[in-house]
Amino acid sequence: GRPAAEAYRHQHEITVTEDAPHPFTTFGSTGFPSVLLKEVQCAGFSAPTPIQAQSWPIALEGRDIVAVAKTGSGKTLGYIIPGFVHLKRLRNNSKIGPTVLVLSPTRELATQIQEEAQKFGRSSSISSVCLYGGAPKGPQLKELYRGVDIVIATPGRLNDFLEMKSVNLDQVSYLVLDEADRMLDMGFEPQIRKIVNAIPPRRQTLMFTATWPKEVRNIAADLLVNPVQVNIGNID
Ligand code: ADP
Ligand code: MG
């Protein structure tokens, strides 16, 4: 109930901007499919991290989220598992294009996200591709054309593929902007905006950031609709 939810938030320094759903303090309370719970158990995780506990119920309701949390807080599973649930609900044809899109600032981070997506999505037969610059386009396009549920991309390379008309984002309805502050610091705002313009407006958008400066607040105001804000710890 409410007192337990508030005690959990207090204990883990979680603040929410409005009357958000109660955090999932245990894996068992998430209602995730048992194959997924098994993966989490195999990974040796004992409980959701605070960002996962609070983001999961909000994301599963289909709400937009902006989450401000430090590195190492478990944000990847915080957005990728509700992304899996979203995929299973929609059952889109992956041959047409991806349903879930994750934008990430660097090749290294994008690769780590894909590793997590593959590890936890394997038993649900969810497919993904990682698109980043500084590598030949051919092999990435080949994977893309095989059909994928999830694209994890740096904004530069994905924008190149959009301009080449090599990728179709018409089915994207779950968009994640991971490390949004860092993507803006790297000058990716124009590419992010072009990518978002290629996605139908009826979508769920989740933004994750370690800091909350004016530039991030501005792009959040433009790209998110009535978001719930979740902060973990003291925000800058
Ligand atoms: P962030 O994106 O916030 O920097 P990551 O999503 O990369 O954090 O997660 C950091 C590490 O914590 C990863 O190795 C990940 O596998 C691990 N992790 C994620 N969720 C949990 C959990 N519930 N319990 C323990 N470890 C977790
Ligand atoms: Mg991360």
pLDDT tens sequence across 75-94: 999 999 999 999 999 999 99
Residues sharing a CB contact under 8 Å with residue 102, sequence separation 6 or more, in sequence order: 79, 80, 83, 110, 113, 150, 151, 152, 153, 176, 178
Alpha-carbon dihedral angle through residues 141, 84, 81, 168, given to the nearest 10 degrees: 30
For residues 77 and 117, give the distance between their C-alpha atoms in angstroms, rounded to a whole number.
Answer: 8
> For ligand 1, what atom is nearest to the CA of residue 116?
16
> For ligand 1, what atom is nearest to the CA of residue 112?
7
For residues 118 and 113, give the distance between their C-alpha atoms in angstroms, rounded to a whole number.
Answer: 9
Q: Is the pTM of this model over 0.95?
A: yes
- Residue 37 pLDDT: 93
- Residue 146 pLDDT: 95
> For ligand 1, what atom is nearest to the CA of residue 70?
3
Distance between Cα 210 and ligand 2 center (Å): 9
Distance between Cα 73 and ligand 1 center (Å): 6
- Residue 6 pLDDT: 94
> For ligand 1, what atom is nearest to the CA of residue 27?
23
- Residue 175 pLDDT: 98
- Residue 236 pLDDT: 60
Ligand closest in space to the Cα of 69: 1
Positive or negative: CA dihedral 139, 144, 147, 149 = positive
For residues 65 and 55, give the distance between their C-alpha atoms in angstroms, rounded to a whole number.
Answer: 8
Pocket test for ligand 1, best of 45, 55, 71, 232 (most atoms within 8 A of CB): 45
Distance between Cα 72 and ligand 1 center (Å): 6
Distance between Cα 71 and ligand 2 center (Å): 6
CATH 3.40.1160.10 fits 2-232, yes or no: no
pLDDT in tens, 85-129: 999 999 999 999 999 999 999 999 999 999 999 999 988 889 999
Residue closest by Cα to atom 15 of ligand 1: 74
Residue 41, CA atoms < 13 Å, CB-side half-sphere? 9
- Residue 234 pLDDT: 78
Which residues in the chain land under pLDDT 70? 236
- Residue 1 pLDDT: 86
Ligand closest in space to the Cα of 182: 2
Buried b (16+ CB within 10 A) or exposed e, 78-107: bbbbbbbbbbeeeebebeebbbbbbbbbbb
Three-class secondary structure of residue 52 per DSSP: helix
Distance between Cα 138 and ligand 1 center (Å): 32
Q: How far is CA 223 from CA 111, 145, 174, 181, 216, in A?
A: 25, 28, 12, 14, 11
**Residues within 6 Å of ligand 1 by CB:** 45, 48-49, 52, 71-77
- Residue 168 pLDDT: 97
- Residue 122 pLDDT: 87
Give the strand pairing for 14-16 and 228-232: antiparallel
Distance between Cα 112 and ligand 2 center (Å): 8
Domain ranges of the chain: 2-232
Q: Which two tokens stand for residue 233?
A: 């710890």
Q: Which amino acid is at 80?
A: I
Ligand closest in space to the Cα of 39: 1
